[in-house]
């Protein structure tokens, strides 16, 4: 009788501990410090309550619109758009530049700058790989336009929501006031993108081989996600509260995924890190404002009116955004401007939207973009990026504030 030889059990596979993302640590630290400011009395209870009441609709909007955008990407909407843009360019480098810039502008305007940074960046990087063209021009296109194209609608940027509430403008009235500044900012951005990045990286003869048309894996989910985005945009244009519009659009998409792909729905879709980041940031900035930051910002902004006052407000916004971050820069500037000084308030907004490009930490969208590029293995030349971004921050802010003065 033969005895079976039983192999010893394999040793358990070593478990790897997931290292927290740097932005996770920043969000947690901000949330803890913000809570400490509120609980310790450094930020009085009344101001804490007012701050939280003000940002709750923003948090609901931010959470729902990011999940909406994530599911829209899973459904293939962005991939379809990118491939159709490449096909529409007919292999022409200059036309591809215009179409990619237009798509980045559109997603920023309608779905907000973080959507462009988080979701459109990997789409355009994948497009660059498929077309075998340099990735840096497409990458820089997303981060630049994520910031500079975020002026037109309240939903395009969290700072816009705060400014629109402060000046008491409905979405369409706000868009009418910011249309010319937005056009100026995008025009400056596109010019610098072409001469600083696209023209010098164009392939021989300025042509490339266009890809085949991308077909979504699930056409029903694709159409459902597209319908959810259109409902969201229509709600905004109709004057519906932004958090309600985004929630309704997301609800439709969630139903589609529950029926067609329930496994896609997971808790990780909720941008918990971003929500902690924003909440903590608001509380910390409010506290710093009470303890000296408002005085410093007031000195920088000054009391000048007219064109000089607007340019000074815009420059201060851009400077503070690159020194710290655009959200606290806007909040600090807003706190020292008179309630009825709409022109300087909107000039400050321009500086904090168009200006946060010279430093990686200047906006959350820029931070997220850096992480997406690193995850995709794309190295953007840092020196050229910083130099050209600084130039854009200055010229874009100046051009947009000048346009604001023309319509004020």
Contacts of 359 (CB under 8 A, 6+ apart): 322, 323, 366
Q: How many whole angstroms separate alpha carbon 322 and alpha carbon 315? A: 11
* Residue recorded with tokens 């690159």: 322
Question: Which residues of the chain carry a pLDDT beneath 70?
Answer: 1-23
How far is it, in rounded angstroms, from Cα 79 to Cα 277? 29
According to DSSP, residue 76 is labeled: T
Would you state the structure tokens that stand for residue 155, as one six-digit string?
A: 């939903």
**pLDDT value of residue 341:** 86
Query: pTM of this prediction?
Result: 0.76
Give residue 14's pLDDT.
46
Which residues does residue 199 pair with via DSSP β-bridges, in sequence order? none
Give yes or no for a contact between 353 and 157, defined as CB atoms under 8 angstroms apart. Answer: yes
- CA distances (Å), 245 to each of 117, 152, 216, 274, 395, in order? 22, 18, 26, 20, 35
Given a contact cutoff of 8 angstroms between Cβ atoms, the answer to whether 393 and 358 are in contact is yes
Task: Report phi then psi at 203, rounded to 5.
Answer: -70, 170
pLDDT at 21: 62
Q: Quick one: pLDDT at residue 10?
A: 46
CB 69 within 8 A of CB 146: no
Please, what is the Cα angle at 229 between 225 and 232, to 5 degrees? 140
């Amino acid at each position: 009788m033969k005895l079976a030889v039983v192999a010893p059990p394999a040793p358990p596979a070593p478990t790897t501990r997931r290292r927290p993302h740097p932005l996770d640590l920043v969000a947690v630290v901000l949330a803890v410090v913000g809570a400490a400011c509120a609980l310790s009395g450094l930020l009085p209870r009344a101001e804490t309550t007012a701050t939280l009441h003000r940002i709750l609709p923003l948090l609901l909007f931010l959470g729902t619109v990011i999940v909406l955008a994530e599911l829209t990407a899973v459904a293939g909407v962005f991939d379809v758009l990118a491939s159709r843009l490449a096909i529409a360019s007919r292999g022409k480098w200059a036309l591809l530049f215009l179409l990619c810039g237009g798509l980045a502008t559109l997603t920023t305007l309608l779905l907000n700058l973080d959507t462009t940074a988080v979701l459109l960046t990997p789409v355009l990087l994948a497009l660059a790989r498929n077309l075998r063209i340099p990735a840096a021009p497409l990458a820089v296109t997303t981060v630049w336009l994520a910031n500079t194209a975020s002026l037109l609608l309240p939903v395009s940027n969290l700072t816009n929501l705060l400014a629109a509430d402060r000046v008491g403008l409905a979405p369409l009235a706000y868009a009418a006031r910011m249309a010319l500044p937005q056009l100026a900012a995008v025009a400056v951005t596109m010019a610098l993108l072409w001469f600083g990045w696209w023209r010098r990286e164009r392939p021989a003869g300025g042509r490339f081989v266009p890809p085949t048309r991308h077909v979504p894996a699930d056409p029903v989910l694709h159409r459902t996600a597209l319908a959810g985005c259109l409902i969201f945009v229509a709600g905004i244009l109709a004057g519906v509260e932004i958090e309600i519009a985004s929630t309704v659009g997301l609800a439709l998409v969630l139903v589609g995924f529950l029926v067609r792909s329930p496994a896609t729905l997971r808790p990780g879709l909720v941008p918990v890190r971003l929500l902690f980041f924003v909440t903590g940031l608001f509380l910390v900035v409010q506290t710093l404002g009470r303890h000296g930051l408002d005085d410093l910002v007031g000195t920088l902004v000054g009391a000048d009116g007219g064109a000089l006052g607007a340019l000074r407000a815009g420059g201060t916004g851009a400077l503070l955004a690159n020194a710290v971050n655009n959200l606290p820069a806007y909040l600090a500037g807003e706190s020292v401007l008179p309630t009825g000084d709409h022109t300087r308030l909107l000039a400050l907004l321009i500086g904090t939207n168009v200006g946060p490009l010279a430093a990686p930490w200047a906006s959350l969208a820029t931070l997220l973009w850096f992480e997406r590029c690193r995850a995709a293995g794309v190295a953007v030349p840092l020196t050229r990026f910083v130099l050209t971004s600084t130039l854009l921050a200055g010229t874009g802010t100046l051009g947009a504030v000048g346009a604001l003065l023309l319509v004020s």
